[in-house]
Structure 1
C-alpha cells in the first residue's frame, strides 16, 4: 500500500478521534495491513505528520509560470499550492490545529510537536523562496513560516466552500510582510 493512502486514512481517523488517539489496530484493520508494519513505519503519531510534511513540496501542484507575477503574487501562488495539497488530509489537520490551539500551553506533547515540525516547515519555506527567486535566508524563512502558520490557522476554521477566509488571510499576511520587509526580495 502506498504512503499516501496510509496518510490519508490516518488523518481521516485523526479528524474523528484526535491526533494522539488514533488506534493503530483499527487503522491497520481498515487498511488491511499488519499492525506491526504500521507501527514500524510510523512509531508515533508525529511520524505520520513528518511523512506528510516531508513530502509536501513534492505533492504540491506546481504553480503556474511565476515570472510575470509580482513577488507577493508569486508567494501567494506557492502558499496556495501547498494548502491545496493538504486538502486530502484536511479533516485530521484541521482537528490537529484546533487541538493545538486549545492545549498549547497545557499539553507538553503539543510543544514537542511544534519543535519536531519546524525543520519540515522551514524546508518548505526554503523551497518557496527558491521558487520565487529569493535567497533563502533564515530571517526570510522564519517570516514566511509565520505567514504560513497564521494562514493554516485560518484554514483550519474556514468553513467557506471557496476558502475565501483563507485566501483573504493569506493576502493580508503577505501585505503585512511586504510592508514590514520592504527589501524582502
Structure 2
C-alpha cells in the first residue's frame, strides 16, 4: 500500500513540476509518463485524466498537512486553523512554479476549476475538523464555504509571496481568518462541539475561485 501511495505521489508531483516548464494546458499525459519514467499503464491506473492528477496532488497536500499531527488543544480555534492552513502553503511552496502555472490555466478552464472546487471543499472540511471545529449542519456547511473563500483569497497573496518565511501569506491568512471570525463567529466554536466523522464526498461549488490546494 505504501509503495502504491509513493508511486501516486511521484506521478502527481512530477506532473505539477512539469507544468512549471510547459504550462498546464500544453501538458499531456504522455509528457507526464515520460518525465516520471513510468509506463502509460501505471499512469492510467493511478491518474487516468489530468483532473485526476490535480485531485491526487490535492490529496497529497492534505496528507502532508495532517501528517504533522493535530495542533495543540490549548490554542484557540483560529490559531489551530492558522497552523493547519500554513502547513498547506508550505507544501505548495515546494512546487511553486508548477502550482502558479496551473492556477493561471485553471482560471481559463472553468470546468476543471469546478471539479477542483469539489476537492477543495473536502480538503477544507478535513482542515476544519482537524482544528476541532464542527462542520455538521447548516452552520458547518457555511464554515466550509467560508474557509474555501478564505483559502482562495490567501492563495492570491501566496502567488506573489517570494519571501522564505511566507510573511505576506501569513499576514493575509491571519487577516482573512480574523474577518471570517467576525462573520457571526464562523470559526469561534471548537473543542466544545462534537468532533465530526470524516467528511463524505462534497457537492460542487458554483462560482468558486480556481484553486490548487
1:98 & 1:157 partners in 2: Cα distance?
Answer: 13
Cα distance, 1:24–1:133 mapped onto 2, change above 3 Å: closer
For 2:82, the equivalent position in structure 1 comes to 76
1:79 & 1:162 partners in 2: Cα distance?
Answer: 14
The TM-score with structure 1 as length reference comes to 0.85
> Is contact 2:80-2:131 (8 Å) kept?
yes
For 1:128, the equivalent position in structure 2 comes to 127
For 1:180, the equivalent position in structure 2 comes to 183
Aligned alpha-carbon RMSD (Å)? 2.0
Task: Return 5+ residue gaps in structure 2 as ranges.
Answer: 1-5, 190-213
82, 85, 99: which is aligned to 2:91? Answer: 85
Cα distance, 1:41–1:65 mapped onto 2, change above 3 Å: closer
2:116 & 2:71 partners in 1: Cα distance?
Answer: 29
Q: Which has the higher helix share?
A: 1
Alpha-carbon offset, residue 63 of structure 1 = 4.9
1:137-181 residue CA offsets vs partner (Å, 9 max, x unmatched): 110000011111111221122122221111111011011111223
Alpha-carbon offset, residue 82 of structure 1 = 1.8
> Is contact 2:121-2:145 (8 Å) kept?
yes
1:14-58 residue CA offsets vs partner (Å, 9 max, x unmatched): 011111211333332232222343245333221100111234322
1:63 & 1:86 partners in 2: Cα distance?
Answer: 18
Cα distance, 1:139–1:183 mapped onto 2, change above 3 Å: closer
2:40 & 2:71 partners in 1: Cα distance?
Answer: 44
1:105-162 residue CA offsets vs partner (Å, 9 max, x unmatched): xx4xx21122101221111111122122221011000001111111122112212222
2:31 & 2:151 partners in 1: Cα distance?
Answer: 33
Cα distance, 1:2–1:40 mapped onto 2, change above 3 Å: closer
The TM-score with structure 2 as length reference comes to 0.75
The higher relative CO (CA closer than 8 Å, separation ≥ 6) is in 2
1:10 & 1:183 partners in 2: Cα distance?
Answer: 36
